[in-house]
Amino acid sequence: MPPASADSRPLARQCHPILKTIALSETIASRPARIDGRRLRSERTKQLIIEAFLALVRDNPTNPMPTAAQIAERAGYSVRSIFERFPDLGKLRVAAADYSLAQAAALAPPRQVDGDRQARIRSQVETRAGTCERGVALWRVLLATAEEEEELRPRIRIARERTVERLEVMYRPELSTLPERDRKHMLIALEAILDHESWAPMREIHGLSFEEGCAVWIHAIDRMLPPTPAA
């Protein structure tokens, strides 16, 4: 119960037993709404803190682990707000990984699954390139800090598994023609070509544009995959 001084209800309601009961009923009735509102605001703050962290990592790759003060300033909250929601910056990284995994799933649904070979390759490559473009900065932070933050390791594994699952969906016709061992090796090779760490050097070291990077991947995958079986 809040202290009396904090009670802003009309005095009559605070005194009369019936009115007290009504007021109590009102309190009970309105509590979930208020709690939900508080929770929603708190969740929103949490999300803004995560987004501020991700934006800082993306904007300034020379500083892969921004400080709490930098994150707070970017998010427009106090440092205290951050630590009320995350026990430490490691947990914030873990939350950012979860947020990005969810975002990647939402922004990159499989498209053209039943398309012809070229349509599927193009669709898969463009989706993957978009994911890598948005996520490479965080991916590097995760890889660099996974050693010290145990909770990050399963997230990295899940991200990789999702990539392989997507490859299996998109190239099912071609992969189905291979014996099990060759199929496994093909998936490993495709994943290697399509990794965040492969996208980044194409853009940063070789200076390829987004479209040029996609073209490298498209040609490579087309050469790597076995012939598409007749429908």
Binding site residues, another protein, CB under 8 A: 61-64, 140, 143-144, 147, 157, 160, 182, 185, 188-189, 191-193, 195, 197-198, 201-202, 205-206, 208, 215-217, 219-220, 223-224
Identity of the residue numbered 8: S
Report the nearest approach of another protein to the CB of residue 121 (Å).
Answer: 14
Report the nearest approach of another protein to the CB of residue 134 (Å).
Answer: 18
Residues in the chain: 231
- What tokens were used for 9? 């209800």
Report the nearest approach of another protein to the CB of residue 160 (Å).
Answer: 7
35 vs 143 by CB, closer to another protein: 143
Contact residues for 82 (Cβ-Cβ < 8 A; gap 6+): 49, 68, 71, 72, 75, 92
The per-residue DSSP string of 112-138 comes to -TTS-HHHHHHHHHHHHHHHHHHHHHH
**3-state SS assignment for residue 196:** helix
User: What gap in Å lies between CA 53 and CA 33, rounded to an integer?
Assistant: 30
CA 91 centroid distance within chain: 14
94 vs 202 by CB, closer to another protein: 202
84 vs 168 by CB, closer to another protein: 168
Report the nearest approach of another protein to the CB of residue 151 (Å).
Answer: 18
Report the nearest approach of another protein to the CB of residue 5 (Å).
Answer: 53
48 vs 156 by CB, closer to another protein: 156
User: What gap in Å lies between CA 66 and CA 126, rounded to an integer?
Assistant: 30
36 vs 165 by CB, closer to another protein: 165
